[in-house]
Amino acid sequence: MTLGMWNSMRGAAVAASAWGAVLAGPAAAEVTASSDAGFVSRNVAEVSAAPDEVWQVMLQPGRWWNGEHTYSGDARNLSIAAVPGGCFCESIPATGTGGLGGAIEHMRVVYVAPNALLRLSGGLGPLQSEAVTAVLTMTLEPAGDGTRISWEFVVGGYMRPSMRELAPVVDGVIGEQLTRLAASLARP
């Protein structure tokens, strides 16, 4: 999604219902709490890959993140440095003659337990320009011969658009990314 598309979502109840109809979520997805002060989005998927394999792929968002949900339009510009203080960043290539390019810190890594848990803090998309705190906890647990991947995204603070209206939109976007990660790990 481009910056303009993200900006157009601000406070738009119509966009919330449209996105809900378009995006396919993982096996289990829901906004588990929502108020004027914040919301919690929880998405879960199970894959046949082992936790160490899921971990390695999860740290390469360029392989599975939807480029429509980036500022550059290309998920290959995303990276995650899985160390405390590390960055979930996006490089913005210089375009045309005289283009300056740039970079964006989407989130900062605050907790790392390899093959088990990655926690990031920071606002994604339209949340970045609002006075909110957002935390994404990505948990990997053995499940039979595979892995259960759980993403919980907790957002709180002050936001100009309605938190209640934006919650299902954000849940849809987060759920789409988890679904894409799970699909990238599917065995033929």
- Domains in the chain with CATH codes: 3-184 (3.30.530.20)
Tell me the C-alpha distance between 43 and 30, whole Å. Answer: 7
**Nearest alpha carbon to residue 165 among 36, 68, 40, 43:** 36
pLDDT value, residue 48: 96
Position 81: which residue type? A
* Burial degree of 131 (CB within 10 A; 0-12, 13-18, 19+): exposed
Neighbours of 145 (CB within 10 A): 8
pLDDT-derived band of residue 101, with 50, 70 and 90 as boundaries? confident
Query: For residue range 32-90, what is the model confidence (pLDDT) as tens digits?
Result: 999 999 999 999 999 999 999 999 999 999 999 999 999 999 999 999 999 999 999 99
The closest alpha carbon to 171, from 29, 14, 45, belongs to: 29
pLDDT in tens, 14-36: 333 333 333 333 457 899 999 99
Average pLDDT, the chain: 86
Interval 155-172: pLDDT, tens: 999 999 999 999 999 999
Q: pLDDT by residue (tens digit) across 115-135? A: 999 999 999 988 999 999 999
The C-alpha angle 15, 16, 21, rounded to 5 degrees, equals 95
Residues in CB range of 15: below 8 A, 6 or more apart: 8, 9, 169
pTM metric for this prediction: 0.84
Identify the pLDDT of residue 27: 59
Mean pLDDT score, 91-119:
90
**Residue 98's pLDDT is what?**
66
DSSP string, 117-152: EEEEES--GGGGGSEEEEEEEEEEEEETTEEEEEEE
